[in-house]
Structure 1
Amino acid sequence: MTTLFSNQPGDEGLPGQERARVMAAVMTTTLMGVFDGTMINIALPSMAKAMQVQANVSVWFANGYLLSAAMTLAIFAALAVRVGYRPVFLSGLTVFTLTSLGCAMASTPEMLIGMRIMQGIGGAATLSIAPAILRSVFPGRLLGRILGLHALLIASSSAIAPVLGGTVLDIMSWKWLFALNVLPGTVSLLLVFRSLPRKPASERTPFDTIGAVLSAILLGSMVLAANSASSDHHISVEAISWSLLAVLSAIAFIWQIRRVKHPLLPPVMFKNGRFTLAALTSLACFVSQGITFIALPFLFQSVYGYSPVVSALLFTPWPIGIVLIAPHAGRWADIFSAPLISTVGLALFVVGLILLATLPARPAAWDICLRSLWCGIGFGCFQSPNNREMLSNVSRDYASYASGVLSIVRTFGQCLGAAVMGALLAINELKAVHYALWIAVVASAASVVLSVSRLRKTGLAHTL
């Protein structure tokens, strides 16, 4: 850990001590965002009962955050290029912290949903540029290592959040799930205010308002389409309508960024084949993960008959596997080839998914845990090296855009995975899990093909 804050001649970024403060602020903010999303899902029944609303209304206590965050990811990534990381991150963190307090004080469902929507906007402002900030303050020689720690934080907090959320609900009101954000949010604000430098924006150009509106419609309609498909368990008119809107807005967005001089997302970034392949590889892998994350609870509860608590425990080895390998994978990516390491991770991930898809009719709990652990190890070996590959193959001026793309492909991939699973449930609920896991295998295998193709660009294909 101390090597992250040591200085060497020629290091770009910030000195070690200031680097540590910025890292602490970014990591704390990420931790709050992950905890907030995961713990709230557990609390929805309690919140619905306390607010005296139906379950379909309480779902928006979670979806309001996801929807507003998804709609504004690209906007904040582009805005940070024009005004700088500091004002965007400080504003987003301030909004997130204040609306956390607002959620805790909400007395009506409408007020809570409104606060959650605002909280999602604040969360998007911080999460969309967090990797870019880490790249700006750390030297390139440490980029894989710090991104590995970032992936470890996300995985470990995802594993801990359900247990912590359940503990909080056992001894306190659901309001404390939001109130607990206020103190770390305030500390993070002070750290960012003191340490993140005031750097001039790299571009003084007009903001692409039309592109921003189209990106918001595109990402928002994707989330709503996935939500409709996965919650209705049939192909509804609503799901089809949102999907159609997503397709039309995607076409319009691509047309817009290709025709304007200063687009919301510069197409020139994608002329770098290694960046584009890393983004597509990540997209395919997150589609696979999105399918699997929805399929496994159905498998454990509906097929094998485990309780929700036991199902959560059976899933825990997955994030544990990421925790075990992600920091090492990030360090290896700084020394060896990041594409090669992420390709190896993807191959392991495919094997793990095949193992899950071929589980026997009545497997032992330890057998399920080992196969889930294997998936986590493979995914952890892939994620941080691939993120490094994306961020290192654009200039520092484009780091914010690359960070936004990273967040967008993750969100889009998970939403598309959810939509696939929803469609399968609509067609045949009894066989949906079996089909879903094999589709996840195909999606992850496609990511391996994409990843191998970029090895040819780096001249490393012969090493596999």
Structure 2
Amino acid sequence: MQYVTKIISMMIFPHFTFLFMPQTAHPDGIPVPQRYGAIVAIALGITVAVLDGAIANVALPTIARELHASPAESIWIVNAYQLAIIVSLLSLSFLGDIVGYRRVYQWGLLLFCFTSLFCALSDSLGMLAFARVLQGFGGASLMSVNSALIRIIYPQRYLGRGMGINSLIVAVSTAAGPTVAAAVLSVASWKWLFFINVPVCLAALALALRFLPDNAQKARGQKFDTLSAIMNALTFGLLISALSGFAQGQSGKIILAELVALLVIGTLFIRRQLKMPIPLLPIDLLRIPIFTLSLCTSVCSFCAQMLAMVSLPFFLQNVAGRDEVATGLLLTPWPLATMVMAPIAGQLIERVHAGLLGGIGLAMFAAGLFALAWLPAAPGDMDIIWRMILCGAGFGLFQSPNNHTIVTSAPRHRSGGASGMLGTARLLGQTSGAALVALMFNLFNEHGTHASLLLAGVFSSAAAIVSTSRMTQPKHTAE
């Protein structure tokens, strides 16, 4: 990797190659100003990876029309990217523990750059879907080790702030997706949604080569388990397929076949992991109570988030009579409140137990969700806005401390596995939430949004209880 990236950096930045010397990890973070450069490298990479998960949604009708595809077929442009991420995230985080988080992140940037160009140059749906699968692997490389990198970049006493910044980046990127897509499409072809990734990735790669530190501790002597990686991909792929199929009313025979295959492969996969000293699926980390409780909290909270964010536009447009622009504006206070609260929560974690912060945040989140569920049929803008702010502020207060706990409760040399589990929990929660929205609309028709919001409130309330229970666990960092 170092030879490839050095050659590329010399070609792109011929007068500054003296800068591209790798940083070594320090016992407790890396010094300023290197720390700032490393954080910008991570911020740019995570921004494009998260942004590309949503940016194509707005352009789907245009892409489908230009590539002569049906609306149903065009959904693969989105699904191919998300599915590639979720089936490869844990494998890449495991690889990071072995070869180094810095190396996995740099390869991810390189792959994301070239596959973005591949997406932009695609002239058929099949070609674009294949390019999106490869781009998803690049995005997974970035998402799988970003939290692990933050752990070795920041001094322990400031780690909460680093996690807060990371949560802020994810929130901003998620919120900006539709806006960025609309802005690009107003002046250029859909291909520029992917072209714009190239200079961002090159800039991030330049910073990553210069500032990202390498692992001080690696899984020495551990070999990458290809069979486990395949079984992991099949397990999560079958799980997501079965969930989506059930929610969409797919044939019962197909769903049953997927569940049987999931049960067989999943059982064999877990049994294999239990025999390994350092498993690809970090089951051993689940023996740490606060780690497991935090993961459960994360899955429930992101499931609740997606139940609300996917179902609310239907209420705002079909019931409340808002148009697409007004709907987008009314949804914006949620991520804005998360943006404000996430860095604050990141600093509070240095003084307050994450279980308490998470419990308070999730209780606020649940209150906002239940308040949204009981909106009047003709709500005013402020009726909607204050509820959105309550949801976003509660979610922001919970997310940073929870991420901090997941990463720091694992031993330092297993930070990659913990980072991968964090990302997997988020994606699993989001995918399950989106599937449950489809199920609620199939079961309750025009009351689907109401049912989705009530279910989201239940999930958030359960997560608040689980989060509060973590206060019985010691506030410590595993080494």
**Residue aligning to 2:236:** 219
Within 5 Å, give how 1:60-71 maps onto structure 2. Answer: 60-71=76-87
Which of 250, 271, 278 is 2:294 aligned to?
278
Structure 1 range deviating more: 95-104 or 247-256:
247-256
CA deviations on 1:269-289 (whole Å, 9 max, x unpaired) are: 112111111111111111211
Whether contact under 8 Å (1:222, 1:412) holds in the other structure is no
- Mapped partners of 2:90, 2:420: distance in 1: 6
Deviation at 1:133, TM superposition (A): 0.5
Which of 436, 443, 451 is 1:420 aligned to?
436
Deviation at 1:244, TM superposition (A): 4.8
Q: Which amino acid aligns with 1:225?
A: A
Deviation at 1:79, TM superposition (A): 0.7
Change (3 A) 1:115 1:423: same
2:436 aligned with 1:409, yes or no? no
Within 5 Å, give how 1:107-256 maps onto structure 2. Answer: 107-199=123-215, 201-229=218-246, 232=248, 237-239=253-255, 241-256=257-272
- Mapped partners of 2:251, 2:350: distance in 1: 46
Change (3 A) 1:355 1:298: same
Change (3 A) 1:240 1:322: farther
| Structure 1 stretches of at least 4 aligned residues deviating more than 6 Å after TM superposition | none
Deviation at 1:198, TM superposition (A): 4.1
- Mapped partners of 2:170, 2:102: distance in 1: 22
Whether contact under 8 Å (2:353, 2:471) holds in the other structure is no
Change (3 A) 1:303 1:346: same
**TM-score, normalised to structure 2's length?**
0.89
CA deviations on 1:376-433 (whole Å, 9 max, x unpaired) are: 0000000001101111111111111100000011111111112222222222312322
Which of 106, 120, 128 is 1:90 aligned to?
106
**Residue aligning to 1:19:** 35
Q: Which amino acid aligns with 2:295?
A: A
Deviation at 1:313, TM superposition (A): 1.6
Deviation at 1:182, TM superposition (A): 0.4
Which of 376, 379, 397 is 1:360 aligned to?
376
**Residue aligning to 1:462:** none
**TM-score, normalised to structure 1's length?**
0.92
Deviation at 1:138, TM superposition (A): 0.9
Within 5 Å, give how 1:290-329 maps onto structure 2. Answer: 290-329=306-345
Whether contact under 8 Å (2:49, 2:142) holds in the other structure is no
Find the residue that maps to 1:129 and give its secondary structure: helix
- Mapped partners of 2:353, 2:276: distance in 1: 36
- Mapped partners of 1:242, 1:103: distance in 2: 30
Deviation at 1:241, TM superposition (A): 4.5
Q: Which amino acid aligns with 1:271?
A: R
User: What is the aligned residue count?
Assistant: 450
Whether contact under 8 Å (2:153, 2:213) holds in the other structure is no
Whether contact under 8 Å (2:444, 2:451) holds in the other structure is no
Which of 433, 436, 440 is 2:449 aligned to?
433
Find the residue that maps to 2:349 and give its secondary structure: helix
- Mapped partners of 1:241, 1:318: distance in 2: 39
Q: Structure 1: where are the runs of 5+ without partners?
A: 1-9, 460-464
- Mapped partners of 1:242, 1:24: distance in 2: 42
- What percent identity do the matched residue pairs reach? 34
- Mapped partners of 2:394, 2:226: distance in 1: 40
Q: Which amino acid aligns with 2:280?
A: L
Change (3 A) 1:267 1:233: closer
Q: Structure 2: where are the runs of 5+ without partners?
A: 1-25
Whether contact under 8 Å (1:25, 1:191) holds in the other structure is yes
Change (3 A) 1:236 1:178: farther
Which of 268, 274, 281 is 2:284 aligned to?
268
Structure 1 range deviating more: 251-260 or 183-192:
251-260
CA deviations on 1:316-368 (whole Å, 9 max, x unpaired) are: 11101101111101011123222221211111111111111111122112111
CA deviations on 1:187-244 (whole Å, 9 max, x unpaired) are: 11111112223446333213233321121112222333344455x4667654554455
Whether contact under 8 Å (2:93, 2:420) holds in the other structure is yes
- Mapped partners of 1:262, 1:110: distance in 2: 38
Structure 1 range deviating more: 246-255 or 278-287:
246-255
Structure 1 range deviating more: 76-85 or 281-290:
281-290
Change (3 A) 1:397 1:239: same
Q: Which amino acid aligns with 1:159?
A: A
Find the residue that maps to 1:334 and give its secondary structure: coil
Whether contact under 8 Å (1:70, 1:411) holds in the other structure is yes
Whether contact under 8 Å (1:99, 1:116) holds in the other structure is yes
CA deviations on 1:239-286 (whole Å, 9 max, x unpaired) are: 554455444443333222113344212322112111111111111111
Q: Which amino acid aligns with 2:285?
A: M
Change (3 A) 1:63 1:456: same
Structure 1 range deviating more: 156-165 or 349-358:
156-165
- Mapped partners of 1:18, 1:359: distance in 2: 49
- Mapped partners of 2:129, 2:41: distance in 1: 27
- CA RMSD, aligned part only? 2.0
Which of 369, 372, 397 is 2:385 aligned to?
369
Whether contact under 8 Å (1:349, 1:444) holds in the other structure is yes
Q: Which amino acid aligns with 2:327?
A: S
